[in-house]
Amino acid sequence: MSVKTIINERYEELSKTNKKIADHILADVNHFLDMTALEAGECYQTSSASIIRFAKSLGYKGLDEFKIGLAKDLSMYEKNYTMDTIINREDDVGMLCDKVELLYDTANHDLFALLDKDSLSQAIDRLCESENIYLLGIGASMLPAYDMYHKLKRVHIRAHYEFDSHMGVEFLHYITERDTVIAFSYSGLSKEIIYPCKIAKQRKAKVIAVTRNAPSKLSDLADLKLVIPNSEQLTRIGAISSRLSALVIVDLLYLGMAQKDNGMFKDRLVNTSMLTGELKKD
C-alpha cells in the first residue's frame, strides 16, 4: 500500500500535530524528502522528534524507512504528486483527461492494496447461499446498488432494490436469516441505510457493508466489510473515486458468484440477450 494511502486511511486517528505534519508532507513530498528531521521540524513549526514519531505512528521503523516508502511512491506514481487533481479553470481538455486517468489509476491501485481477500471470499460464499439478496444505496451509492441488482436479476437471482427508501424498509419486514443485505454507503452514516440494516440484524439476516475504511455506524453493524479507500471528503465535487471503487466491488462479487455457478450464469445471460436483441432489430 502506498504511503499516501496509509496516511489517508489513518488521518482521522492522528493527533493534531501529526495531522499538521501529514498535511505539509502531502502538499510537497519532494521538499520533505530533501529535508532532515531537524529541517522538517523547523519548516513545519514542530520538533524533529515529532517528525520521527509521526513516521513511527504509521508503522515505520524510523524516518529513513518512511522516506524510502515515499520515494518509491514518487517513482511509481510520480504524477500523483506533481499533478493537481482538483480541476482548475485553466485546464484544457487534455489536462482534464490526464487528471481523470490519474484519479482512476490511483483509486484502483489503492482499492486492491486495501482489499481484504478473505472478506471478499466470505461475502461471495454468503451471497451464493442466500435465498434473497437486498441491495441498499442512496445518492451516489445508489449506482453500485442498482448495478448489482440488475446483474443479479438478469441471472434470475432473487435480488431486491427499491428507489423509495421507505418502501425498502417496509419490505424488509419479510427478511429472514437465510437472506443477505448488501449496504453501499461511502460515509457509513446515512440513516436511510443504517435503519434497514438494524432491521436486518434484528431478523438475523447477514449484512455486508461496502463503505470507506473509517469507523462508522454501518461498519459496526456489518457482519462483513468490504472497505474502499477513504480518499474523498464527505463534501466533495462529486463521488468519483469512491463510486468507481464501489462498482469494482460489485464486479468482484458478481464474477465470484458466476465462478461458482457451474455455467448457469452463462445460459441465463445468453437467453436474456436473445430477448433484448429483438429490440435492436428494424
Boundaries of every domain in the chain:
3-82, 115-277
Q: State the pTM of this model.
A: 0.71
Least reliable range by pLDDT among 146-155, 232-241, 271-280: 232-241
In this prediction, residue 82 carries a pLDDT of: 44
Grid cell locating 37: 528531521
Over 80: is that where the pLDDT of 273 sits? no
Mean pLDDT, residues 189-199: 95
Over 90: is that where the pLDDT of 85 sits? no
CATH architecture, range 3-82: Orthogonal Bundle (1.10)
Using H for helix, E for strand and C for coil, what is the string for the chain? Answer: CCHHHHHHHHHHHCCHHHHHHHHHHHHCHHHHHCCCHHHHHHHCCCCHHHHHHHHHHCCCCCHHHHHHHHHHHHHHCHHHHHCCCCCCCCCCHHHHHHHHHHHHHHHHHHHHHHCCHHHHHHHHHHHHHCCCEEEECCHHHHHHHHHHHHHHHHCCCCEECCCCHHHHHHHHHHCCCCCEEEEECCCCCCHHHHHHHHHHHHCCCEEEEEEECCCCHHHHHCCEEEEECCCCCCCCCCCCHHHHHHHHHHHHHHHHHHHCCCCHHHHHHHHHHHHHHHHHCC
Q: Give the CA distances from residue 241 to residues 80, 110, 238, 256, in Å, rounded to whole numbers and listed in that order.
A: 14, 10, 9, 22
Mean pLDDT, residues 112-124: 93
Over 60: is that where the pLDDT of 280 sits? yes
Over 80: is that where the pLDDT of 76 sits? no
CATH class of 115-277: alpha beta
Over 60: is that where the pLDDT of 172 sits? yes
- DSSP lists the bridge partners of residue 227 as 211
Over 50: is that where the pLDDT of 120 sits? yes
Mean pLDDT, residues 155-163: 93
What percent of the chain lies above the pLDDT cut of 70? 91
